[in-house]
Amino acid sequence: MRIFSKGTLRLFWEKHPDSRISLGSWYELVEQKEYKNPHDVILDFPSTDQVGNGRIVFNIAHNKYRLIAKFQYTIQAVFVRFIGTHKEYDQIEDIKNI
C-alpha cells in the first residue's frame, strides 16, 4: 500500500524518539501489503480498533501513542490522519471524520 505521509511520522518520532521503532515497523509492514479490507489489517495488527469511515486506530510504542490511518482499499492507499499521545487522542471529537 502507498502511505501518505512518512514525513508526518518522521516529524513525530523526532519529537518522540521512543515511537521511532514502532512507527518504522508499522510503516514497513503496511507498505509491503495489499490489504483488501479492514479484516486483513486486523490480521496483522490484532490490537487495532475500527472507528468507521475507513479509519483504523493503531497502538504505537506499547500503547503509549495512537495512530489513526484512513485506508482506501480500492486504490491501495493509506492516509495518516493523526499521530499523537493518548491525551491528544482523547480530545478528538469526531474521530470518523478526522
How would you label 17-36 residue by residue, b for 16+ Cβ within 10 Å and e otherwise? eebeebbeebbeebeeeebe
Nearest to 57 by CA among 13, 17, 26, 21: 26
What integer pLDDT is reported at residue 97 of this predicted model? 86
pLDDT of residue 5: 86
Q: Which residues pair with 50 in a beta bridge?
A: 56
Considering the entire predicted model, what is its pTM?
Answer: 0.94
pLDDT of residue 3: 97
Q: Is pLDDT of 22 > 90?
A: yes
Evaluate if residue 98 carries a pLDDT over 90: no
* pLDDT of 70: 97
pLDDT tens digits, one per residue of 31-89? 999 999 999 999 999 999 999 999 999 999 999 999 999 999 999 999 999 999 999 99
